[in-house]
Amino acid sequence: MRIAKLGVVGAGTMGSGIAALAASAGIPVVLLDLAGADGDRNGAAKAGLERARTARPAAFMDASRAALINIGNLDDSLELLRDCDLVLEAIIEQPGPKQALYARLEPLLKPNAIVATNTSGIPMRVLTEGRSARFRQHFLGMHFFNPPRYLHLLELIPTADTDPAALDAVRHFSEVVLGKGIVIAKDVPGFVANRLGVYGMVAAMTGMMESGLTIDEVDALTGPLLGRARSATFRTADITGLDVLLHVSKGLSASTGEDFSMPSWVESLAASGRLGDKTGAGFYKKVGKDISTLDWKTLEYVPQQKVDDPAIAALMKEGLEKRLPMAAKLPGKYGEFVRNYLVRMSHYVLATTPAISYDILSVDRGIEWGYAWEAGPFQQMEALGVDFLREGFERLGLEKPPLLAHAKDGAFFGAVDGGWTQMGFDGSFTPFPPTPGQISVESVHARKGGAIEKSKDANLLDLGDGVLLLQARSKMNTMGAGVLALLRTGLDRVRDGKYVGLVIGNDDPRAYSAGADLGAVVAQVQAHDGKGLDEMVRYFQDGAMMLRRAPFPVVAAPHGLTLGGGAEYALHADRIQAHAELYMGLVEAGVGLIPAGGGTKELLFRFTEQLTPYDEADPFEGVKRAFKLIAMATTSTSALEARSLGFLRPVADRITMNRDRLIADAKARVLDLAPDYVSPISRTITALGKEALGNLMYAGWAMKEGGQITDHEVRIARELAHVLCGGDGPPRLVSEQDILDLEREAFLRLLGTKETQERIAYTLKTGKPLRN
């Protein structure tokens, strides 16, 4: 079974978000909703599509992909679903309307078409009552998390009747095409992530009232401090919507017999119409730039009070494994809250996991991927230690869960050569189930012989089949001396003949590389070492050109933040295999510089060469395009946008939707290129010289006169224009090295200015740009 066209019924927040994700992946989508009683019959679907178009954060990876969505209504347009391979229902969370829809779909769809529900908790067996055996064989649950583009988790809930081929088809489509992380969940109320996530929210509210804390304090304690998302407890609730939370909590209470009830004051808050972000007020209220926080005792809003606790600030400097047990030892009411919250959450996870999940790994992945935790509950329990858990259970009068008794020395996971094991419900350990098409950098590093060379800033790893991986591991994977040195070592090793190519990538969830090491640059400036600075920039440039000229394929695998020097090195690879969530840009102008690791040169040559086939094309358009991208420090918001901006090439560079598959896909590109690889030839173009320089500077002066840029930004623009135009002389033929030399000279001149040095110092201190 191959899924090539998707139908989505229900154009609400989830339905429209799922449609936008699929369209972003290039899948044609039919989006239907109820027919309008008056006026536009497709009004509901149209409103859903518009909601997705204007969503922030963006639901589409490229706004133009909205053209792949065909809207309609359930009365007039049901026929549009006839040729869909998968129809996903995301309508009102009640069995009756869903069952009625399925009755209409069954005689309409192709024999092998799959029907799925996005229900967050209604049992599959209830939804398929009265349906034929064929329908039940092609039916399952697909529970996305909001927003679908950004949260990795997708729970698949097959039934005893679901055809394994249908499940395999949906899993492949979801993992490879949509980029989701799959957890196979049992058909029980709340499945895995919501069952545990809602309990955690209730536990946080209970603990807040017990310890007499404020909403601001609880969000400070249940966010990054404990390895949770920045939205913590109450900000997450506002995003989700209080009406949704109350509906889910009541449903879980009714279906499980457990107490998931929210405090009465939450009911009162929702009854007053304050439902969170959708109504402009919930646990928080934002007016202009001012944020107020609910006083849960009075239901009135008070000015937000940021928690400024030195002990918490100190803990945030530690890694999670150390931070968690230390947080549990905080003094006073903060410590009391954290201890009780962690104990209750751990106890519920241990007691409930066998009933809701097929293994403990699925629980950790479900919570990490669905709620953006840094580490899942079982990893966190390992960090807390079995003594903490046992003492906590006894203190709160909780029975010791059988699963804890099986955990020898409190370990739920173990390591084997090249991989990891997980504890089963009987205490035995089995390897993590392999996922085809995925390579874990962590597992490669753990495998015997996997690490070829290691340093403080980088690793050189053997991916197998003759492919090496350069893994940066400096702060935010910056391209400092340690990374660049090991890169050269890697190039030498491949050149010696034992290997066939190189991948540059890592599995850091935040960044491919945040750029060059500005700290090292500052140190040279402070030492007044002009010669050392010149050599440093030459060394950086030479590294980029070594990638370009290597006699074997080099593939960059960028994802997340790919900025400055990190982007420059990616641009010089033979191919880029990018993750769909790619935030790529040459942002050096923000710190008062221009790209001098070959980035300015590369965009100039790339955009100029793209115009070559067109006799009537104005070569200045290529220069202007590069100038605008660099001067404005433009950064892509996705890999699709990076392609439209020109950072990715239309055919040569490809996009991987699933972050977990990125390294494997990059390795495959190396192996594809290696057999008949030929190094790129040296390039020349005609630099446009003085006339083009004048045109660019006129635009800069006009922006200065309009108050849009500062005097120093005019200086930056002038230096950039000078490089892109090949100097201020007549048009001339230039080589790549000619432009690299101009890059380096302009970079050093700007670095010598007080304003640029102030910008760099400010950014290093605050992480933010300074305009001066």
Helices (H) and strands (E) in the chain, counts: 31, 26
Global pTM value: 0.95
Confidence of residue 745 (pLDDT cuts 50, 70, 90): very high
Of the CA atoms within 13 Å of residue 71, those in its CB half-sphere come to 24
Name the phi and psi angles at 53, rounded to 5: -60, -40
Please write the tens of the pLDDT for every residue from 189-216: 999 999 999 999 999 999 999 999 999 9
Please write down the HEC assignment for all residues of 542-585. Answer: HHHHHHHHCCCCEEECCCEEEEHHHHHHHHCCCEEEEECCEEEE
Question: Which element (helix H / strand E) includes 603?
Answer: helix 599-611
Query: Both ends of the chain: CA-CA distance in Å?
Result: 59
What is the pLDDT, as a whole number, of residue 498? 92
CA 358 to chain centre: 26
Confidence of residue 397 (pLDDT cuts 50, 70, 90): very high
Distance CA(49)–CA(66), nearest Å, equals 8
Q: Buried b / exposed e across 302-321, counting CB within 10 Å, b at 16+?
A: eebeebebeebeebeeeebe
Confidence of residue 417 (pLDDT cuts 50, 70, 90): confident
Peptide bond into 433 cis (omega under 30): no
Confidence of residue 447 (pLDDT cuts 50, 70, 90): confident
Residue 521 and residue 533 in contact, taking contact as beta carbons nearer than 8 Å: yes
Q: What is the dihedral of CA 389, 395, 396, 399, to 10 degrees?
A: 60
Lowest-confidence segment of 117-121, 551-555, 736-740, 750-754 by average pLDDT? 117-121
Q: What is the dihedral of CA 663, 667, 668, 673, to 10 degrees?
A: 140
Higher-pLDDT residue of 522 and 348 is 348
CB-based contacts of 741: which residues, under 8 Å, 6+ apart?
none
Residue 127 and residue 117 in contact, taking contact as beta carbons nearer than 8 Å: yes
Mean pLDDT of 373-394: 96
What is the pLDDT, as a whole number, of residue 532? 93
Q: Where does residue 714 rank: exposed (0-12), middle (13-18), buried (19+ CB within 10 A)?
A: middle
Quickly tell me which residue has 């090496």 as its tokens: 468
Please write the tens of the pLDDT for every residue from 427-443: 999 999 888 899 999 98
What is the pLDDT, as a whole number, of residue 149? 97
